[in-house]
Amino acid sequence: MGKAVKESCGDKNCPFHGSLRIRGQTLEGVVVSDKMDKTVIVRVDYLHYSPKYMRYMRRRSRIPAHNPPCINARTGDKVRISECRPISKTVAFVVTEILERGKGAKG
């Protein structure tokens, strides 16, 4: 997990102050949307090998992740997300660390 966050958020689905356990994959990506309540969409870029053309192709995934109030990631931030148990129908990742603040992001 990332660096410990100082302020307490009181969120039960927070890996630092709640009871949520981290397991499985850890990915890095950029927040492209923060319009939902306590949820962000993270774009993860990766390379996929195509045997037909014997080349690598750039691909991207959009992964919904839980955004605890103590981390509070905003659009444009580069973040680390970790896999956890399913929190809702679509959310099975949680933001654990902000690696770099985006331009225009407050905080």
CATH of 22-100, one of 2.40.50.1000, 1.10.620.20, 3.40.1160.10, 3.40.50.150: 2.40.50.1000
What Rg do the C-alpha atoms of the chain give, in angstroms? 15
User: Consecutive sets of 10 residues in the chain, 107 residues long: mean pLDDT of each?
Assistant: 70 91 96 96 98 97 96 95 96 96 71
Spatial CB neighbours of 59, under 8 Å, sequence gap ≥ 6: 45, 46, 47, 48
| Per-residue DSSP letter, 4 | P
Contact 7, 13 (CB under 8 A): no
Tell me the pTM: 0.88
- Note the pLDDT of residue 3: 64
Cα–Cα distance measured from residue 7 to residue 22, given in angstroms and rounded to the nearest whole number: 20
pLDDT at position 47: 98
Predicted pLDDT of residue 85: 96
